[in-house]
Amino acid sequence: MDELDSEIVRLLQTDARQSNRELARRLGIAPSTCLERVRALTRRGVIRGYHADIDPAALNRSVQALVSVQVRPLSRAVIDTFKQSAAELPEVLSVFVLAGGDDFLLHVAVQDLDHLHAFLLDRLSKRREIAGFRTSVIFQQVHNTAPARLPDPED
């Protein structure tokens, strides 16, 4: 990635909804050049997509938790199957595969504590491959809204 690519990424992280024309204007380049650069960044997998950041509380999912999960036996098949099935659960926002004492970390959002309890009992505890889990309720969450700083090639 050169400096222009880095600046495109930085500007899109700040506001992904800006038009190609506006992005090109901010960069001081032709819109056609900008569009080709963005397409190349997408083809290379640097830009993976665009999304709306939705507040879970606005969707009546105001209780969030992190659930650490241990699965057994540890095998690729068990890990892949659990990862896929957990990602499909409507309560699950993110699935992280971990190294260390826990095998997974699930970020879940539910309506209230009763629904969290039901999720843990009805969805997780009934799965044979789960050896154990621990739940931490999230009181507050702060997002880092600053764009990710790209490494300087000269560092």
Residues 62, 85, single domain; the answer is yes
CATH number of the domain bearing residue 105? 3.30.70.920
Q: Is the pLDDT at 86 greater than 90, yes or no? A: yes
Over residues 99-122, the mean pLDDT reads 97
Label residue 53 by pLDDT band (50, 70, 90).
confident
- Total structural domains within the chain: 2
Mapped onto helix, strand or coil, the DSSP state of residue 4 is: helix
| CA 97 remoteness from chain centre | 12
Average pLDDT score, the chain: 93
pLDDT in the model for residue 150 = 63
On whether residue 115 sits in a domain, the answer given is yes
pLDDT in the model for residue 1 = 85
Separation between Cα atoms, residue 86 and residue 106, nearest integer Å: 8
CB 92 within 8 A of CB 107: yes
Q: Is the pLDDT at 107 greater than 90, yes or no? A: yes
pLDDT in the model for residue 14 = 87
Label residue 105 by pLDDT band (50, 70, 90).
very high
Q: Is the pLDDT at 152 greater than 70, yes or no? A: no
Q: Which domain holds residue 66?
A: 57-138
On whether residue 149 sits in a domain, the answer given is no
Length of the chain: 155
Residues 16, 74, single domain; the answer is no
Label residue 96 by pLDDT band (50, 70, 90).
very high
- Give me the residues paired with residue 4 across strands: none
CATH number of the domain bearing residue 38? 1.10.10.10
Residues 114, 75, single domain; the answer is yes
pLDDT in the model for residue 144 = 79
Mapped onto helix, strand or coil, the DSSP state of residue 153 is: coil
Residues 31, 70, single domain; the answer is no
Q: Is the pLDDT at 64 greater than 70, yes or no? A: yes
On whether residue 146 sits in a domain, the answer given is no
CB 116 within 8 A of CB 63: yes
